[in-house]
């Protein structure tokens, strides 16, 4: 087997792309660099803006591929992953003007659109780049039940539902991937609202889904635990700039994480090169997760 990541002839669906600034976009781009065709799922309230950016060429520079040409998205599909079916969405959501014109924006709706456009099976790779916690700035002690369950629904159960609904559309040997964060395993003050709980559930579900989807369909299921990155979504946390600075100073490799580094790790995990890798949480954070004591303390003590 060649050691080149070659995804020629593969089709990926990346759920959670609404601009060119986050991990979802970086993963989509690196999958395309490796030869895959890419469809994305976009949250309906952000879909008009994203389509406008694409149509007017506002993000053409970001779409340029190192191998030549640019990333051409096969489909941009409306997706609100908090709803498994259209009927599960409240009437006020279904009737909202940003949703109403988009048809079936549920996970089941996305599966139907993909099957209608490309047949069954039609996918090889599914990436879950979705997270939302309406009370993320609140300490866990001050988080409401509604806020907590909303974070779990949007950030963790949505992955279970994606695997359940898209699993039958994925060709044998397919790959599912989600994005986690170190708060799943350790305390990150300021990352509240139940989001740390949701990431812990996401990592646990990754292991269980690896077993169940592996036995049912032969698919692999993995997670990437990425370091902090100043995407538009992450900026909602409020402390992101300080978190990035802390990681940069205290990781074994003292540098800032680039989105493309996560994208390349994702391309590897979704490729045949990782055919025996499943049920794994891969840390892509320049080694910060391995540190027990901040490097700054040692350097200050040693005069470094």
Q: Please identify which of the residues 181, 229, 247, 288 carries the catalytic annotation.
A: 181
- Decide: 166 and 216 in contact? Cβ < 8 Å: no
Q: Please identify which of the residues 191, 229, 247, 288 carries the catalytic annotation.
A: 191
Using CA atoms of 33, 36, 37, 43 in order, give the dihedral in degrees to the nearest 10. -80
Query: E strands of the chain, at which residues?
Result: 11-15, 37-42, 75-78, 123-128, 170-180, 220-226, 281-284
Neighbours of 101 (CB within 10 A): 11
Pairing label, strands 11-15, 123-128: parallel
- Decide: 24 and 14 in contact? Cβ < 8 Å: yes
**Is position 191 annotated as part of the catalytic site?**
yes
**Is position 211 annotated as part of the catalytic site?**
no
Q: Which DSSP state fits 219?
A: -
Residues with a catalytic annotation lie at 181, 191
């Amino acid at each position: 087997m060649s050691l080149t990541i070659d995804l020629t002839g593969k089709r990926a669906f990346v759920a959670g792309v609404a601009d060119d600034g986050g991990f979802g976009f970086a993963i989509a781009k690196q999958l395309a660099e490796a030869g895959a065709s890419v469809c994305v799922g976009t949250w309906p309230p952000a879909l008009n803006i994203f389509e406008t950016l694409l149509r007017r060429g506002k993000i053409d520079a970001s779409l340029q591929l190192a191998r030549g040409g640019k990333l051409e998205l096969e489909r941009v599909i409306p997706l609100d992953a908090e709803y498994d079916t259209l009927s599960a969405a409240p009437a006020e959501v279904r009737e909202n003007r940003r949703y109403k014109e988009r048809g079936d924006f549920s996970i089941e709706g996305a599966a139907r659109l993909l099957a209608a456009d490309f047949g069954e099976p039609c996918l090889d790779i599914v990436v879950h780049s979705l997270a939302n916690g309406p009370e993320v700035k609140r300490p866990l002690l001050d988080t409401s039940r509604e806020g907590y369950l909303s974070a779990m629904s949007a950030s963790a159960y949505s992955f279970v539902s994606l695997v359940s609904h898209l699993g039958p559309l994925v060709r044998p040997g397919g790959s599912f991937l989600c994005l986690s964060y170190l708060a799943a395993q350790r305390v990150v003050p300021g990352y509240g609202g139940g989001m740390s709980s949701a990431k812990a559930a996401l990592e646990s579900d990754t292991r269980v889904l690896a077993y169940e989807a592996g036995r049912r369909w032969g698919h692999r299921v993995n997670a990437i635990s990425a370091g902090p990155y100043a995407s538009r979504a992450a900026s909602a946390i409020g402390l992101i700039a300080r978190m990035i600075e802390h990681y940069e100073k205290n990781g074994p490799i003292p540098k800032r994480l680039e989105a493309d580094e996560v994208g390349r790790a994702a391309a590897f995990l979704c490729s045949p090169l990782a055919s025996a890798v499943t049920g794994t949480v891969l840390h892509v954070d320049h080694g910060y997760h391995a540190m027990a004591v901040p490097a700054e303390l040692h350097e200050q003590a040693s005069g470094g």
